[in-house]
Copies of this chain bind each other. A is one copy, B any other.
């Protein structure tokens, strides 16, 4: 991983920029709130094909105005794509076709390799900065948006050298306004890393939820006993199918690799548990306890 000294950031335009947010869900909505509140944007224009989401975002104050994509692009300095990764991939070439030489587009997708391949030879590639703010919750839609979601988390910017320096500066300033720590990384390594620290946790949680829900068909009151341990392991299983299906498709090879390593480790546990083997079990758990030095709290 490459973590150079922070670039010298260009001065923000007086009064802030005009920001178009395409996709008014948890991520887009949460970014919109703090980017306006903290002065990065003087105006936020929302774009969402879902009429209910769009109307809600306006009503609860996530955005100042609503527009179609064309109109929003005509008015905005920075265009933020906060839609599922498959939609980002289909939308980005069109956005780049129309982008002006002083405009910048960024995205927040959780997988990067296919996305950067899609626009590698686009003549306006350098107006695009691909980024991934590492924060979220298991909830979705404009109702889930909240201020402070990104504070003190990591924002990854991939393949920075493929973007124009002023475009990178603009997006670094955006994440600085969100109080995020910048991390620079190649798209390929990004996708491998997030398979380990994010995507696998979601597979684990989805599979746990189904396993226990299936059992509940016979044992009605099983959840009456679920305590904090189960809740924290199964929490991510609430996450949106529309968001996660394309992530697993896009990052298929990496997620399968991690899953294979994970299933092997589970089978090692299974063998020792079946044999009631005290020392191997104690050793495995002590090995897992090393996570204490990594996780806060």
Contact = CB atoms under 8 A, between A and B. Distances in A.
A255 interface: yes
Interface in A256-293: 256, 258-263, 265-270, 272-274, 276, 278, 281-282, 284-292
A296 to B, nearest CB: 7
A238 B292 contact: yes
A94 interface: no
Contacts of A274: 252, 256
Nearest to A138: B229
A92 B52 CA distance: 62
Interface residues on A, range: 35 or more
Contacts of A193: 219, 222, 225
A103 B229 CA distance: 33
A214 B257 CA distance: 13
Contacts of A137: 228
Contact of A208 (B194, B248, B260, B262): B262
A91 interface: no
Q: Is the interface of A mostly helix, strand, loop or mixed?
A: helix
A212 B215 CA distance: 29
A5 interface: no
A183 B224 contact: yes
A216 to B, nearest CB: 8
Given A227-B135, A270-B260, A292-B238, A197 B210 contact: no
Contact of A136 (B1, B208, B212, B227): B227
23 contacts: A134-B227, A153-B227, A154-B227, A196-B215, A196-B222, A198-B226, A200-B211, A201-B230, A203-B269, A204-B266, A205-B233, A206-B284, A207-B262, A207-B268, A211-B261, A213-B294, A232-B233, A234-B291, A237-B289, A238-B295, A239-B285, A245-B285, A256-B270
